[in-house]
Amino acid sequence: MSTVLEMKDEWVKTASLFGDVETVMTDALRRYAIEKCIQKIEQSRAKIKAYESKYGCDYDTFSLKIQTDEDFLQRVERINPVWEEDAMEWDYRLKELTEWMQKLEDTLQQ
Amino acid sequence: MDAEIGRHFAAVIDLARQKLDQVEIVQEDISLARAILELQGRLGSYDIRIKEIFSAEGKLYSYYVLREGQVVVGFDNYPDRRVLREKFGRQFAAHLHERVPHRHDQGKSSVEATEEYGVQRFFELVGEMLV
């Protein structure tokens, strides 16, 4: 896909100092995409780690025990009576992490 | 996620600002294939907490009323063993990860299956209950 972008002449002039403008711009966009993917991955990982620390287990263990272990459910409800909010987002962040890692891998391979 | 989700979140925020005081948007993020909105506010002496997640798997929601950190009433559709047991009986173990809309009452002392809730309906019910 090709896109026409309007850029400041000054930026184009500066970019041209480093080689073919199109190549420089493509490289800059790729680096930007990689940086943003890494940022998203780090944010997701931080959230996941916080939930793991809060509940003392990983999500797979949590989601199984919350349904099968009455004592565990009671302990969790003492920590946070609205744990469902956390559980929803925990699952969300894990899936998001997988998606951003895939996106990063795709970008790195291009 | 498409622009429709963005419009939906804007409508939820608008409604919350009409109904609640001290509305805080905790997070609003529309990502590659999923979207999340979390907000909270006050209604009199009650804390209202709203969280919605959209993905290809559908909508996950959590709408809760709390007072001094304790649940007054809440609606969500995260898998809940008590509702799954009621719905599927002995076969409930085969449905452990099934989303099931339900309601929790005071202190989460009881739980019952409901239809799927939306934020509009939640506010209507809360308005009736807390007035």
Give the tens place of pLDDT for each residue, B77-116. 999 988 988 888 888 888 888 899 999 999 999 999 999 9
Q: Which of A71, A87, A73, A81 is nearest to B107 (CA)?
A: A81
Axis-axis angle for helices A83-109, A70-79 (nearest 10): 90
Residue A53 has pLDDT above 70, yes or no: yes
Specify the pLDDT at position A22.
86
> Using the beta-carbon criterion (under 8 Å), do A89 and B74 form an inter-chain contact?
no
Q: Which of B104, B31, B20 is nearest to B62 (CA)?
A: B104
- Tell me the residues of B at the A interface, defined by beta carbons under 8 Å apart: 31-34, 36, 38, 49, 51, 53, 55, 60, 62, 64, 66, 69-71, 74, 76, 78-81, 84, 93, 96-97, 107-108
Q: Give per-residue pLDDT as tens, B49-77.
A: 999 999 999 999 999 999 999 999 999 99
Q: Quote the distance between the C-alpha of residue B103 and its chain's center.
A: 10
Specify the pLDDT at position B131.
67
| Nearest CA distance, B124 vs chain A (angstrom) | 21
pLDDT above 70: percentage of residues in chain A = 95
Q: Give per-residue pLDDT as tens, A10-28.
A: 888 888 888 888 898 889 9
Please name the residue of chain A whose CA is at the shortest distance from the CA of residue B76: A84
Specify the pLDDT at position A64.
92
Q: Which of B63, B67, B66, B90 is nearest to B77 (CA)?
A: B63
Specify the pLDDT at position A1.
60
Q: How far is CA B103 from CA A27, A34, B79, in A?
A: 52, 43, 12
